[in-house]
Amino acid sequence: MLNGLFAAASVTGFDPAAATDAYIATMDAAARARSDAYYEGGYWLILINLVAGLVVAFLLLQTGLSKGLRDRVKGMVKSTSLTVAIYAAVYTVVTTLLLFPLTLWQGYFREHAYGLSTMTLGGWMSEQAIGLVTGVIMAAIFLTLFYLVLRIAKRAWWIWGAAVSVVLLAVAIFVSPVYIDPLFNEYTPMEESELRDDILALAEANGIPADDVYVFDVSRQSNRITANVNGLFGTTRIALSDTLIDNTDSDEVLAVMGHEMGHYALNHLWEMFTVFAVLLAIGFAFTDALFRVLNERFGARWGITGISDIAGLPLLAACLSVFFFLMTPVANTVIRTNEAEADLFGLNAARAPDGFATAALRLAAYRKIDPGALEEFVFFDHPSGRARVAMSMQWKAGQLALGAEDQTPELRLDRAEAIMRDLAAQSATD
């Protein structure tokens, strides 16, 4: 039936493949090379971050710092849980400081080199400090509960550990819109306008319980466009960045918001909880086996009595990071599939295929627009720019074939070319 629709669409003079190529062609060679270089560099960063984490874990264990910290804290407090909480807080600070040079280069200098950050070094450092404080608090709480499970569940810890981790993740998602997000950005109600009314109408039509739309000031950090529908159990909030409002037109905004609402309406959050729980349980089982092998050989030297010993946290974290490194294609495929489903939902909800296509071109400023099939499978946690534009044009072809009154064959190539010029000028300025 789909082939029939596309054949019928060709009668109207609209070719979705040619339309896709026309949109992609608006991205000039220099901008494309810059985007490709940035995104492909991220492939190496996956490996670099893994190696850096393993080196830090080795240093903490081999030098006796981990064992010494545990012993010192145990000498100060009698409670095992309090020992874990204090160790977790200090461990978070120490690992953050040891990895800080890589974080600084990756999060600040590299972003500026590609014209993607708008932050001063002072502003960036301030956000890192806020992140460290919240990280210390969350690590202390999570690891205290996690190690309690390790001590109680013993050999079955990997099952119960995954369950507790997912519950704590749900709590974090519940409190994030209210307590965490405002630490980094200011959220203000969107001014009354036709666009705000359209967003709320889109939300109501798709069963999203929100009576307001919030704008957050991403421009103080980046020139990226973004939006989200976040929260659980009464904290659901529709929010979009000021960069999305200021730098795009209404069709692009509604296309992006339709996509974000798709995640909510399709229950992707609950689906991801389930997938994450299964993947984490497998990861913990992998970690349990690898931890035991390494601890049998080096545990006496490192002063680790077993997996429930907090001094073994660097080893446990290292084993788990190896697992998730190996699972990169799996995790990316799960997320990318959900993103593609949300793309299609957004097209059906917002009915703005050309707005979605030009929004995809904006994202191509820092996401490789046309990767190979294997490359996309392994490294992409979102559909590529070409895949998204192609989906938009195929959807449009189907609507034209059905005689939809709100669709026209014309493309917004002038708009696409203007977007590419703006992005190129922005990169040159930065």
Edge to edge, what strands does the sheet with 227-230 contain?
A: 187-189, 213-216, 237-241, 227-230
Q: What is the mean pLDDT of the chain?
A: 90
User: Please, which pLDDT band fits residue 102 given cuts at 50, 70 and 90?
Assistant: very high
163-167, 279-283, 384-388: range with lowest mean pLDDT:
163-167
Domain boundary assignment for the chain: 37-184+273-330
- What percentage of the chain reaches a pLDDT higher than 70? 93
- pLDDT tens profile 259-280: 999 999 999 988 988 899 999 9
CA–CA gap between residue 166 and residue 164 (Å, rounded): 5
Six token digits for residue 222? 């980046």
pLDDT of residue 430: 52
pLDDT of residue 5: 42
pLDDT of residue 210: 82
pLDDT of residue 39: 96
- pLDDT tens profile 294-326: 999 999 999 999 999 999 999 999 999 999 999
Statement: residue 7 has pLDDT above 90 = no
Mean pLDDT over 356-371 rounds to 93
User: 187 pairs with which residues across the strands?
Assistant: 216
CA–CA gap between residue 354 and residue 22 (Å, rounded): 12
CA–CA gap between residue 267 and residue 277 (Å, rounded): 16
Contact 46, 325 (CB under 8 A): yes
Helix H segments across 220-352?
242-247, 250-265, 268-302, 313-326, 328-350
CA–CA gap between residue 99 and residue 103 (Å, rounded): 6
Statement: residue 394 has pLDDT above 50 = yes
- What percentage of the chain reaches a pLDDT higher than 90? 75
- pLDDT tens profile 131-181: 999 999 999 999 999 999 999 998 899 899 998 988 888 888 777 877 888
pLDDT of residue 180: 86
pLDDT of residue 176: 80
Statement: residue 43 has pLDDT above 60 = yes
- pLDDT tens profile 192-206: 999 999 999 999 999
> With 0-12 CB in 10 A as exposed, 13-18 as middle and 19+ as buried, what is 63?
exposed
Statement: residue 57 has pLDDT above 50 = yes
Statement: residue 234 has pLDDT above 90 = no
Helix H segments across 154-193?
157-175
